[in-house]
Amino acid sequence: MRAMEELQALLGPQRVLSAEAERRLYASDETPRACTPEAVVFPRTHEEVAAIVQWANRHRVPLVPRAAGSGNVGGALPVPGCVVVGFECMDQVLEFAPQDRYIVVQPGVITEEIDRIARTAGLMYAPDPGSGAYCRIGGNLAMNAAGPRCVKYGATREHVLALRAVAGDGRELRTGARTSKYATGYDLTRLLVGSEGTLALITEATLRLIPAPERVAHLRACYADNAAACAACARVMQQPVVPAALEFMDRRSIEAIRAYGGAAGLPPGTAAVLLVAADGPYDDVPRQVERLAAALGGEGLIELQSGFSAAEIERLWTARRALSHAVKRIAPLKINEDVVVPVSRLAELVAAIDRLAEVHRIPLVAFGHAGNGNLHVNLMVHADDADEMARAHACRRALIETVLRLGGTLSGEHGIGSEKRAFVRLELEPDTLALMRALKQVFDPNGILNPGKKLPD
């Protein structure tokens, strides 16, 4: 039997897409590249995933896992001759155990749905990527996704108790336990989270839930310049009240929002903004707001507002919500870096970004999770302008070198995928990289899973 017929016999013809028009729908993620896969398959169970991986090993066909395709580093980008394993049909909640504060889900469950279910029992699933309304937990696990709340609660990895998966050689893997403590064997859970589908396909995840805060409040602090906002950010992270979000928009972000017409609520002279959240027991939140406000005050502060109701909070976030539309107006192509530095070095990073923008003549818009020292630095370019693209590539490399000099790292939450592999050697020592390659060989000796991703060639 031919390989594709075998696959159809395995899953039934409805769950194997082979028509070109259908396959093309899975040719790209959020990166501006595309490669049409040979087929797209939709398993429903762990056993079907195992059978697909075994089939792929027999026929030496590369498999590219895909959740919702919202990744922006080409993690789910097909490679020539591959089969895409789409996890959208594995969207079942298998167990919800509020008494033990966990939930067991298949990888295709939408991230916000997990939080919604948790809240029915007074709990929450803390990781909150901006794409949470449509991305799937399998993608979050593979990328160690994060969001604003992660400055207080940690990224996806901190919220995974156990995994079930199929290794690249087809073996079943169970890691961790459904308990709040675990010290048996090596911690393969932490290894698989963030492995970008290169070691194993995750088929089931037991996620940690935590008590939902009784109340939330937000603050918006507007500053005269980037340096004042960065100094305030460092002050906030030095005092004992950990914010439940600490987001930053730089001068170019504010300029873009103004040009787009979304800055009506910002006071004149605003050149940088911090958005901060507090959460916790009902009566404690006002005290937290007071402490955070004290840390946000200081030289360069133009205006500080706080809000407790949903409507007030929405108003404080209006300008931030306009940002992604505003940025798109600058240039059609966004090269999105996701760098991190220790929070005390944020001011140096932001100043360096300003200098790089001038030296390379590339509009750089920086915003993001400043409490983690994690900035999304967007290089806005025109793909058909060869000179501009060359300057952008030089600028990108200089940015990465600056980040590493400041003690930082390439990616805080988006991952490496195919787009950032070229920079990995700048960060990882050769021996460390060799050990990672050896791990890949153990999990996936035939190099079936997501080739061309995560590690450099």
Ligand X SMILES: Cc1cc2nc3c(=O)[nH]c(=O)nc-3n(C[C@H](O)[C@H](O)[C@H](O)COP(=O)(O)OP(=O)(O)OC[C@H]3O[C@@H](n4cnc5c(N)ncnc54)[C@H](O)[C@@H]3O)c2cc1C
| Least distance between ligand X and beta carbon 322 (Å) | 14
**Which of the 8 DSSP states describes residue 444?**
-
As given in the structure block, the two tokens for residue 28 are 């790209």
Phi-psi region of 443 (alpha: psi -120 to 50; beta: other; left: phi over 0): alpha
For ligand X, which residue has the nearest CB? 139
Name the one range near ligand X by CB under 6 A: 141-149, 206-214, 306-314, 432-440.
141-149
Cα separation, 65 vs 164, whole angstroms: 15
Near ligand X by CB under 6 A: residue from 62, 78, 138, 452: 138
Footprint of ligand X on 365-384 (CB under 6 A):
none
| Least distance between ligand X and beta carbon 236 (Å) | 20
Footprint of ligand X on 398-417 (CB under 6 A):
413-414
Near ligand X by CB under 6 A: residue from 37, 62, 75, 300: 75
Q: Which is nearer to ligand X, 262 or 300 (CB)?
A: 262
As given in the structure block, the two tokens for residue 436 are 């990672």
Q: Is 262 in the site for ligand X (CB under 6 A)?
A: no
Q: Which residue pairs, CB below 8 angstroms and at least 24 apart, start in 287-292? A: 288/217, 288/241, 289/217, 289/219, 291/239, 291/240, 291/241, 292/219, 292/236, 292/241, 292/243
| Least distance between ligand X and beta carbon 315 (Å) | 21
DSSP string of 31-84, one letter each residue: SS-----SEEE---SHHHHHHHHHHHHHHT--EEEESSS--SSSTT---TT-EE
- Separation of CA 358 from chain center: 28
Q: Is 71 in the site for ligand X (CB under 6 A)?
A: yes
Name the one range near ligand X by CB under 6 A: 139-147, 207-215, 241-249, 425-433.
139-147
47 to 66: interface string for ligand X, x by CB under 6 A: -----------------xxx
Which class for 159: exposed (0-12), middle (13-18), buried (19 or more C-beta within 10 A)? buried
As given in the structure block, the two tokens for residue 306 are 């706080």
Determine the 3-state secondary structure of 360 from DSSP. helix
Footprint of ligand X on 189-218 (CB under 6 A):
196-197, 201-202
Footprint of ligand X on 100-129 (CB under 6 A):
107, 129
| Least distance between ligand X and beta carbon 173 (Å) | 11
Q: Is 452 in the site for ligand X (CB under 6 A)?
A: no
Contact residues for ligand X, defined by CB under 6 A: 29-30, 64-72, 75-76, 87, 107, 129-131, 135-136, 138-140, 142-143, 145-147, 196-197, 201-202, 413-414, 450
